[in-house]
Structure 1
């Protein structure tokens, strides 16, 4: 055989071998495709539980079995919660949304709630024909929603970057919502459900190579929940700092190891944040409408100058700082401030509502107690023009400012040399920019969460755990802002109907006459509803509630401990605060107060 023939035969053999290796080998699917397949399996399991266990238990009126199958279904849902919330957010509301009506003001539509939380209320009521029929109807709606997800999911394409973003947000969701009882206030199964959510995260992480460290950390967290399953005594502070935060950090490292880029998601958190409490975890620019409203140091400086000046009021005798004192966390210490107007006898008319803190106001989706303003710019406009507050005019103020050299220089720095003249919008925006800057995140709690575990004593730690657990404060005042803007997406600022009395009287209590949101939007659900304000710097902002009725934090906690207005004899059909007693002891109340004082900025 000639050398040429040998070479030719050898080349053919190499080619055949290469082709066989290509066509006969099984290429491992991309991790994101594996994750997608895992979701399909878990979704099928959820559908099976609902169809074959939960629904028949209701039909057959097997009360114990229906509760067990309900909890089983919820735990199964928690395994895919991260995926549902990220890729199917609208459907996630139908499956596990809050049990309150959603009102679309612009469309004048009322969306009645549906899903697990509505079912929970029905299940834990005394069973009767009516509520069991309602329960069956709820399950039928869930069956349709789950089938819809399955159909649409077949068309979905997801990326590894999205998967890691969804997992990151789920860890935050467990910390801020999952372990607080937010979505199961009656069953109080938050701790085992947190374990289920972690199991879902674990199974997803396992689709990415070199995951041993992350899997071990998640297993340890799950073991912790099984070791301490009791809702009231669970140590949420330890769970967050010793388990959830390290898991989040480690998952981020796994993402980096796989060279997966961060994705710009829907959350208002910075795209690479790994803790709710890290410095600059929140991006204040994500709370504004567009890039023209982004914050800058120059806008902040101009806003501070305007905030402290009387130039905005037509009388030249009132400024923003007249009612918002820095030493009181930008509140004023009064029950209500005095109006610029006087009554027929010459007496100053008091304003309707207590002056709220402006600290952390930039991290909200609605402003004023009745949420009448959608932006801080709108808030500034309202306050300046309100005859009872500043009794001013932005048009007139602009004229005065344009004759003031100090302001002209500041406006040039903020808006450019060609924009030295003031106008109403620039004034509004500068004031809003300054208020957005009032968020140092420097409290002792922040420092503790960032690693300095000398910052809280044992009573304060106990108070945090009570706040986030037994007392259920954290299910309305969401960490890390401790206001009504729900993390981890921060899409909406909520209002609640608490039944606040006109006077601090528990024997003959009467509802405060201020109808709250109802004045502007006369839906029955909004009567006596007020925005859930931040508790940061709460020790500096007494008195409390929209009408300043309570002078101390102890009084406020006594009100909540009794079940709000319902507990002191005020009957409201639309009270959103649970009327159930919290059964907090005096020692526990003192511990919560001690914790609340750790929210003061240092």
Structure 2
């Protein structure tokens, strides 16, 4: 009898436990369900890496290696929105760029690891050495995935964070995903974008996505899956017809649920739903702290100082001496004319300069304030002194009034920092986003013709321009967080010679920081207003955009006989036709502000 009672009691406990589990699952908050889904998808990724990829590499079966790698990274893309948002350090180890990460302050060089490193190894000719390296990469991946799983158990996530993660993932797909940025050899960017959208759809369904939103997602995924090939895909239409509407509809769902926005650390406005919308950027996210925020009075003062020669000791030089507004704040010269002879480098545009994280071609300045300090004190540029300039400014009633208004200081006293900050504030204001491309992306479909549309698609696809000049800034500051400005080693020649080319003597970042990786590395500048900023490259070697594109089409320096072990630009020819080059040039002209 006792055993029967025990069995009955056990059955009752099991029944109650099952009912409670079902009830709790049904009542589980959407964020908790997403977290559980992530754990499940992460387990699926671990399984693929452990059983398929690891096994294929051990067996040295090249066909299986590629198939397992493609399947594993597609699975990763399905949870990319979550990993990038909640585990940014882990994301760098799982799918970070395959280049050394140099921490200048700590004199530390971190070797890359993850899927992109694997891809380079998998798609080059197999050798015993690189297959051993590949096996080590897989083992590191296994450890990193296990570590992330442990971290996830300790996390509490919110609805606002998940909507923000989805928003940023849509921007990531727009600027990086469909360009082939992280899959240059396997060319899996379109199916991987489909996987990423599938991951987004799973989350939004937990939040009760509308039929319209669900339909748009399904149609977008189908468009990616039906694409004939990487080169012919219509990225412009995909962004405007699918990605932007998905962003708008997801945000509408967020607002209907009365879910707030989250401060994610992106330089975009927290409620921006498109990379190309008006006022998408929060310029104050590019400055150090709240004391450096923009104001109309700071901008007005900065403009006054920018165009005045009062900052130079001799009173014969201003910022505008080299940065001409009608040339998008460049000077039209190969390299600038200094007070005591020609300067080393080309004068870069100041338009959109405020929306980046490093300044000068060698990234030696970390802020626009630091840049102003360097230029004013440079003996061959302005040969000035900020302290002496402040003394002169404090004797001028016009400037005293302007400083008082800008810094809420009745005395209106200038000092070196205030001068630097006013100049920086003016330069930060030079980002109007008024080009024909911006207007097209905002809904005016009459702005671009067929040639320009083709040029955009080539730029973001076959020509691979968009994998270094990231939309929407088209500089080296990467979406969607815009936290770092990149430099590249292109192999720029000293003369426009394709037969007997030699590397330009300027060693770029290496001059200041002598790491071998930095030799001949220069900042990736903005292409906005590029038709107004000729000549091009750090040394002004190319006079036309056609010449620049010919250089890239050949494979950069490697394509004209310049041998650099550290060239970061892919050395392979792009095989662009003359018509395709014309289309890209036509597109680049749509980036001019109006």
Which TM bucket (shorter chain)?
A: over 0.9
Q: 1:524/1:24 Cα in 2 relative to 1: closer, same or farther (>3 Å)?
A: closer
Give the match for residue 212 of structure 1: 211
Distance 1:210 1:425 in 2: 51
Distance 2:145 2:318 in 1: 55
Q: TM-score, normalised by structure 2?
A: 0.96
Distance 1:254 1:286 in 2: 26
Larger CA deviation: 259-268 vs 168-177: 259-268
Give the match for residue 418 of structure 2: 426
**Pick from 580, 583, 587: which aligns with 1:595?**
587
Structure 1 residue 250: Cα displacement: 0.2
| 1:141-220 correspondence to structure 2 within 5 Å | 141-220=140-219
Give the match for residue 317 of structure 2: 318
- Work out whether 1:386 is the aligned partner of 2:378: yes
Structure 1 residue 168: Cα displacement: 0.2
| 1:455-474 correspondence to structure 2 within 5 Å | 455-474=447-466
Distance 2:483 2:411 in 1: 33
Distance 1:547 1:243 in 2: 41
Q: 1:528/1:157 Cα in 2 relative to 1: closer, same or farther (>3 Å)?
A: same
| 1:68-79 correspondence to structure 2 within 5 Å | 68-79=67-78
Q: Over residues 273-297 of structure 1, what are the superposed CA-to-partner deviations in whole Å (9 max), with x where a residue is unaligned? A: 0000001101000001100110100
Give the match for residue 29 of structure 1: 28
Q: 1:24/1:591 Cα in 2 relative to 1: closer, same or farther (>3 Å)?
A: closer
Structure 1 residue 481: Cα displacement: 0.1
Q: Over residues 284-317 of structure 1, what are the superposed CA-to-partner deviations in whole Å (9 max), with x where a residue is unaligned? A: 0000110011010000000000000000000101
Give the match for residue 296 of structure 1: 295
Structure 1 residue 265: Cα displacement: 1.1
Give the match for residue 344 of structure 1: none
Q: Structure 1: which 5+ residue stretches go unaligned?
A: 1-19, 342-348
Distance 2:502 2:460 in 1: 30
Q: Over residues 536-584 of structure 1, what are the superposed CA-to-partner deviations in whole Å (9 max), with x where a residue is unaligned? A: 0000000000000000000000000000000000000000000001000
Structure 1 residue 337: Cα displacement: 1.3
Give the match for residue 574 of structure 1: 566
Structure 1 residue 417: Cα displacement: 3.4
Structure 1 residue 209: Cα displacement: 2.0
Please state whether the residue corresponding to 1:596 is helix, strand or coil. helix
Distance 1:474 1:171 in 2: 16
Q: 1:25/1:219 Cα in 2 relative to 1: closer, same or farther (>3 Å)?
A: closer
Q: Over residues 414-443 of structure 1, what are the superposed CA-to-partner deviations in whole Å (9 max), with x where a residue is unaligned? A: 011334010000000000000000000000
Structure 1 residue 212: Cα displacement: 2.6
Give the match for residue 101 of structure 1: 100
- Work out whether 1:498 is the aligned partner of 2:497: no
Please state whether the residue corresponding to 2:463 is helix, strand or coil. coil
| 1:481-496 correspondence to structure 2 within 5 Å | 481-496=473-488
**Pick from 521, 525, 529: which aligns with 2:521?**
529
- Work out whether 1:448 is the aligned partner of 2:440: yes
Distance 1:175 1:484 in 2: 15
Distance 2:48 2:456 in 1: 36
Q: Over residues 385-438 of structure 1, what are the superposed CA-to-partner deviations in whole Å (9 max), with x where a residue is unaligned? A: 000100000011001101111111110110113340100000000000000000
Q: 1:366/1:419 Cα in 2 relative to 1: closer, same or farther (>3 Å)?
A: farther
Distance 2:491 2:588 in 1: 22
Q: Over residues 34-73 of structure 1, what are the superposed CA-to-partner deviations in whole Å (9 max), with x where a residue is unaligned? A: 0000100110110111111111001101100110110000
Q: Is the 8 A contact 1:205 1:211 kept in 2?
A: no
Q: TM-score, normalised by structure 1?
A: 0.95
Give the match for residue 283 of structure 2: 284
Please state whether the residue corresponding to 2:154 is helix, strand or coil. coil
Distance 2:548 2:299 in 1: 34
Aligned length: 576
- Work out whether 1:274 is the aligned partner of 2:273: yes
Structure 1 residue 28: Cα displacement: 1.2
Give the match for residue 337 of structure 1: 336
CA RMSD of aligned residues (A): 1.3
Q: Over residues 92-121 of structure 1, what are the superposed CA-to-partner deviations in whole Å (9 max), with x where a residue is unaligned? A: 000000000000000000000000000000
Structure 1 residue 229: Cα displacement: 4.1
Q: 1:254/1:238 Cα in 2 relative to 1: closer, same or farther (>3 Å)?
A: same
Distance 2:210 2:558 in 1: 51
Distance 2:592 2:124 in 1: 40
Distance 2:216 2:299 in 1: 42
Distance 1:145 1:328 in 2: 49
Q: Is the 8 A contact 1:192 1:229 kept in 2?
A: no
Q: Is the 8 A contact 1:299 1:434 kept in 2?
A: yes
